[in-house]
Each structure stands twice: as structure tokens, then as C-alpha cells.
Structure 1
Amino acid sequence: MAKIIVIYIDIDDDLGEIGIETPVIGENAVKSAIETASEYMVYDSDFNSMVAAYNTYKRLKKQGEDVEIVFIAGSKKSELEAQLAFSTKIDDVIEKIRPTEAIVVYDSPEDAKAIPIVQSRLKVSAIQQVIVEQHRGVEETYMLIGRYLKRAFSEEKFSRIFLGVPGLIFVLVGIFSLLNLSYYIGPVILATIGVAMIIRGLRIDEEIEKWWENSVIMVITSVISIISAIIGVVSLDLEIQSVKISTFSQGLDLVLGTLLPYFTFAIVVLFSGKAISKAISRDIRVWHDLIKVVSTIFMYYIIFDFLDEIGRNQFLGTETLFTLVVSSAVIISSYIALSFVERYKITKT
């Protein structure tokens, strides 16, 4: 007979907030957890999911199935930490119970992210999402809004949006007002909200969290690169306002001459950070990023020579062409030589 385990998933560890440590294994422990939850979160969808999981367990037990129930939570810290914590706990549960298949009960899209973790270890025979439909009066609706506002201020994943974005907007408005740049306040607010929507919509913040946990150096260098690029754009705007552009070559010289140092610095810092990160982990492919740093510096000087020749009305003269050919040959030759060295090292090991 198959050994079935009914798993209630609480990936963001709401149970931990009310003092319930997971995994909670067995009927008696689960009943005790539900009683505790009924005192603190009776109106929460998590409580309804716990009850639904317990009812599913009871129904299967009455049918004579070999079944066990367990509540497993993740972590509040981050999405990655939550999934890692859940993985560790489900491994412990599987080792203790030795189930052959699982029935998963959850309520939120965040909890659903743990389902693939279960599927990688057990056959999932059924998945149940608990959706609570509630009809409330006006007073109850205000209470519900108040409860969600409390979560917006106290829970990290909500406070990032509901506090972080407005806070950033207020700071930018204050700075621009002090600098007498009130004209830019409207566009800055729209841009800030737009960037926040893009970051959250594409889950860039979650990727940054993973990036930070894997390589702090890369995050720091990325921030420096972004700041450098922003300074370059602001400098270009100030230059355009102070200089009258009469020809295309003059405009090209102004744009590239202003942006190039800042963007080159940003790219060099980014590739250097990646190289340092690989060097720390003793990755032999560190030379890939060093080649990119050297190539970027070469290109910087080539473009500046090109701009200098434009100023002297010598478009793509012999100096720039010679520098371009020689630098390209050196970089390509170095890349080929280092590729052979890398292959030899890998084959030898």
C-alpha cells in the first residue's frame, strides 16, 4: 500500500510568527497547531488551508489509506532562504516518514513555488489550492483593510513596495526642491514608479537578492556602475543646456565625449567585479573578464582618437585605423592563446 503524506505549505513562515515551529508532524501535533492558529489567525487564509489539509487527512484515513499529515514552513528572510529552509525540512520529513506520494495543500502563489521542490522528491498525486471567498459588511471591510495595511508596514516583502517606493519619491522630491529643480519632480516621480513596477513585475529584486547572497562584490560593483552611468547622463544634460550645437559632428563629439568616460568606468568596474568574484572562488575562467576589461579600455582610447580626428576633420584617419587593427589583433591573439591554456588545464584535471 502506498504511504501518503498530506503537506500543508507555508513558504513565508506565517506559523513561525505565532510560535509554531515546523515541521509539524502527526495528527496530534497538527491539531495542536490548528488550535494555536485559531487564536491568532482565524481570519487568515493560512488557517483555512491548515484546516483543509487536516480534513483531507481525516477523509483519507477514514477510507483506510496509510496516510500522515505534516505542516512545513519556509522562512521570512527572502524567497531563496524560504525555499532552502523548506527543502531542508521536507528532507527531514521524508527521512522520518518514508512516504511514497504526497498531496499538497496551499493558498497563495508564493506557496506554490514550493511545489516543484516536493515534486523533485516525491510523486505528487494531488494539489489543492484553498481560496477563501468572504462576504463582508462595511465595518468588516475596514477591518480587513486595516489588517492588510498592518502587513504592508510590518512584513518585508510588502513594506518594500508600500514604504520603500513612496519613501524614495519623497527623498527625491526633497533633493530636487533644494536644488531648485522643481521642473524635474514630475518626470522623476513617474520614472521612479515605473522603475519600481518593472523591478517588481519582472522580479528583478528577487534576482538581486540571489545575486547578493551569491556574490556581494557583484552587487556593490553593479551599484557603482549604475551611479556612474546616472552621473554621465546628468552631466550630458548639463552640457547640452550650456552649449549650442550647430553641426552633427559637434553633437556627436559632445555626446560621446561626455558619456564615454562614465560609461567606460561603469563597464570596467562591472567586469572587474566579476573577475574578482571568480578569482575568489578560484575559477579558471577569470581571464574572460580580464580580457573584457582590457578590450573596454582599448575601445575607450580608440573612440577618443576617433573624436579627436573628427575635431581635426580627419574622419577615421591612419592613426585610429592603425590603433584599431593592432589592438584587435592583440586581443584576439590573447583570447585564442588563453583558450588553449584553459582547455589544457581542464583536460589535465
Structure 2
Amino acid sequence: RIVMRHSKSIEETAALFTRYLKLVMEHPRYSRIVLGLPGLLLIILSILSVLNLLYYYWIALLIVLGVYLLYKGFGIDRQFHNFYRWIKEYSPPPLPVQIANFSAIAAFICVGIGVFLGWNGAAAEVKTPPVDLGGWLALAPAIAGGFIEHSIDLIIVGACVLLFGRAVKWYFERDIKLLRTVVIVSVIIWSRQIFIETSDILKNPETSYERLIFSIVIGVLIAIATILIVLVCYRAFHGFFERKGEQVEEFGEEG
């Protein structure tokens, strides 16, 4: 009769190996590393073998490993998970805040395009690039005039759009800044004419400056008239702004 004695350490090792193997097979986090990545590499190897392109395998291997290390190293999986959770739990702000944010984005786009057009307009003033600093200084007024002429319209529109969005927000907040914004917008709109006259003088110094002075005077009068109108409106509707305690969130809930 043969008697076989099993070593206890062997049994413990087998049990430990079985447990870890089961963990690797069933746990999604470990299975992606131990099974998923080698499986992907084997699939790439088989496809390249069928296409007789095995000399590309090492390139594909390095690309897959590099992408995986980049993915894990920078925590892209966690970032995607956090972004998905943020999208799922996102609650839009009140409507006035949305209008203000949208107007800010639209204003940024308008100003950006205006600067781009201004840059092109300034570049068009340089027919032949000067070779020294004196030549650039001589062209500086014309370059500035070209930039102003081609960019001022969209820059003014962007500023007005931004202030309009803020004004809507302050209206629902019953904030006195609404009246101040009306004055600023009126001045900004008329300032376009001042900038246009300035650009004409910069591009052609022989142009008469009377129209520029006239535009500045009219702008000052418009600002004074707007301030007076705003003061009259404030005295007539001061009770509206005194109720500032009402929060914008109430409007958002009603909407």
C-alpha cells in the first residue's frame, strides 16, 4: 500500500494561486490589464499575419502600450468618469445667468473676429515692409488706423452684447447696475463714430479734424442726456430696485 502525503504549503500555494486567478478573471479592473491588453495584441498579431504585415507588429505593439500607459498615467479613465458624473448630475443655472453666460461667449467671439479683421486691415497698410525702425514708426499711425477701421464694428458689437447679457441678469436681480449699464452702452455705441474719425486721421493726416471734435462733443452730450434720463427713471422706479431681496433663483424655479 502506497501512502501519499501532501505538503500543506503546496495546498496553500494552490489555493492562493486559484484565488488570484479567479480575481484576475472576474475583477474588471485586473481583467482589462491581464486579459484585455494581451488579447488585443494577439488580435493585432493575427490580423497582421493574415495580411502578411508582421513587420508592423512591433510598431503596433509600441503604439498600443504607449496609448495604454498614457491612458493610465494621466488618469484619463477617471477624468472621463468624473466628466460623465458631472454631465449626469448637472443642473442648469437660472435663465438670467444662462443669458449672461451666452452673451459673454458671443461677445468673446465677436471681439476675437474683430481683432482678426483688424490685424488683416493693419497688414494691408504695409505695402512694403520697412527695413529699419524709423520706417515702422512712420507707418505706425496708418497701421493703427487700419486696425481700428476694420475691427471697431465687431468690438463694439461684442461689448454691447456682453453688457446686454449682464443687463438682463441685473434686471431680474433688481440691481441698480442696470441703469449704469444703459449709460455705458449708449456711450460705447457712439464711440464707434469717434474711433472711425480717429482712424481716418491716422491713415490720412491731412484729413480735417473738425468731424472728430464734433463726434466727441456729441458723445459727451449723449452721455449727459443718458445720465439725466437714467436719473429720472431711477426716481420714477426706485421702488423696483429697492426690492433687490428677491433672488434670481426664484425666477429660475418659476421658469
Higher helix share: 2
Higher strand fraction (1 or 2)? 1
Higher relative contact order (CA 8 A, sep 6+): 2
Asked which structure has the greater CA Rg, the reply is 2
